[in-house]
Amino acid sequence: ESLHMFTFLFDDIGIPQDYRHMDGSGVHTFTLINRAGKATYVKFHWKPTCGVKSLLEEEAARIGGENHSHATQDLYDSIAAGNYPEWKLFIQTMDPAQEDRFDFDPLDVTKTWPEDILPLQPVGRLVLNKNIDNFFNENEQLAFCPSIVVPGVYYSDDKMLQTRIFSYSDTQRYRLGPNYLQLPANAPKCAHHNNHYDGSMNFMHRDEEVDYFPSRYDSVRHAEKYPIPSAVCSGKRDKCVIQKENNFKQPGERYRSFTPDRQDRFIRRWVEALSDPRITYEIRSIWISYWSQADKSLGQKLASRLNVRPSI
């Protein structure tokens, strides 16, 4: 299932030149909910306006050897000079009724949605126009969490997303404390109301309401209603493995989209990785079998250079 990811990691784009020249992807499938309550699957994509640039191995070794924080320094210096990095936000949308029309599971995080069928739609942009003043306060204490969404955005049955909804907030409570959402880096900029009270490292004094519910003294005020998708099930709902894994089609298509010299570099990187003396003959055979199922010629070239027969 990770084979598709390796076609990015071992590709020429595997080492970004710096932060300003790299894509961003939400990976997961979320759900957009309109005012009528209609659900639409969505994937989020960030595209840098200055284009995607990467480093080959020799360049990465030289630049990283001269400055191990070269990407951070490039970002800081660019913002300080007024050359603000910018990313365009795109979305791909899908009607949930189309979910079973593909030869893969659209909620599988190891797959990408075909852009010729589900095109990218521009919806916004992100500009970094100010460097932070205190790295620890504004960076180290950040707590991004996929469970924190705004009205109109909801989750899907993406199995990995369902796990991260719980695990991220749980680890952040351990890393930053139970009141991590009070920290300025994580708190909303607008007025907000919740029932968070006291606890370890609390620093907000609240006396506008009581800290229990229900209360005759201070009755609760409900937030404005907004729709969430209604899960309609008939019969028994099971947790099970993804049926349409189709783990080899997209890696093969991506490899075949490379130019011949790019394919050669991809193969060379895999030959170097699989030539590690700690890797057994059996493991090499398994890897070659995987790549043979993605693309027959790729598997044959790897087997020839490594003197290994695939084991399927």
- Torsion sign across C-alpha atoms 41, 43, 49, 53: negative
Does residue 261 share a domain with residue 176?
Answer: no
Q: Is residue 142 part of a domain?
A: yes
3-state helix, strand, coil in the chain (%, to 5): 35, 10, 50
Last residue in a domain, options 154, 182, 210: 182
Higher pLDDT, 68 or 226: 68
Q: Is residue 26 part of a domain?
A: yes
Does residue 174 share a domain with residue 267?
Answer: no
Does residue 159 share a domain with residue 280?
Answer: no
Q: Is residue 112 part of a domain?
A: yes
Calpha distance 52→102 (Å, rounded): 29
Does residue 29 share a domain with residue 176?
Answer: yes
Angle 296-306/281-294 helices, nearest 10 degrees?
160
Higher pLDDT, 260 or 181: 260
Q: Is residue 204 part of a domain?
A: no
Does residue 282 share a domain with residue 142?
Answer: no
Residue tagged 């590709």 (tokens): 11
Calpha distance 155→159 (Å, rounded): 10
Domain that holds residue 301: 249-306
Residue tagged 């209360």 (tokens): 215
Task: Calculate the average pLDDT of the chain.
Answer: 91
* CB-based contact 288:271 (threshold 8 Å): no
Calpha distance 74→68 (Å, rounded): 12
What confidence score (pLDDT) does residue 229 get? Answer: 75
Does residue 257 share a domain with residue 171?
Answer: no
Last residue in a domain, options 137, 154, 182: 182
Q: Is residue 126 part of a domain?
A: yes
* CB-based contact 109:27 (threshold 8 Å): yes
CA 309 to chain centroid, in Å, comes to 35
Angle (CA) 242 248 251, round 5°: 120
Q: Is residue 200 part of a domain?
A: no
- pLDDT, tens only, 79-91: 999 999 999 999 9
Mean pLDDT of 259-281: 96
Calpha distance 153→28 (Å, rounded): 13
Q: Is residue 145 part of a domain?
A: yes
- pLDDT, tens only, 135-159: 999 999 999 999 999 889 999 999 9
What confidence score (pLDDT) does residue 240 get? Answer: 76
What confidence score (pLDDT) does residue 311 get? Answer: 63
Q: How far is the CA of 276 from the CAs of 92, 202, 269, 283, 303, in angstroms?
A: 40, 51, 12, 11, 15
Q: Is residue 9 part of a domain?
A: no
Calpha distance 118→91 (Å, rounded): 9
Count: domains in the chain: 2
Does residue 114 share a domain with residue 20?
Answer: yes
CATH number at residue 148: 2.40.180.10
Does residue 173 share a domain with residue 40?
Answer: yes
- pLDDT, tens only, 114-128: 999 999 999 999 999
Q: Please say if the pLDDT value at position 26 is more than 70.
A: yes
Q: How far is the CA of 202 from the CAs of 168, 199, 210, in angstroms?
A: 20, 6, 16
In order, the DSSP letters of 49-87 are TT---B--HHHHHHHHHH-TTHHHHHHHHHHHTT---EE
What confidence score (pLDDT) does residue 241 get? Answer: 77
Last residue in a domain, options 138, 158, 182: 182
Calpha distance 282→296 (Å, rounded): 19
Does residue 271 share a domain with residue 150?
Answer: no
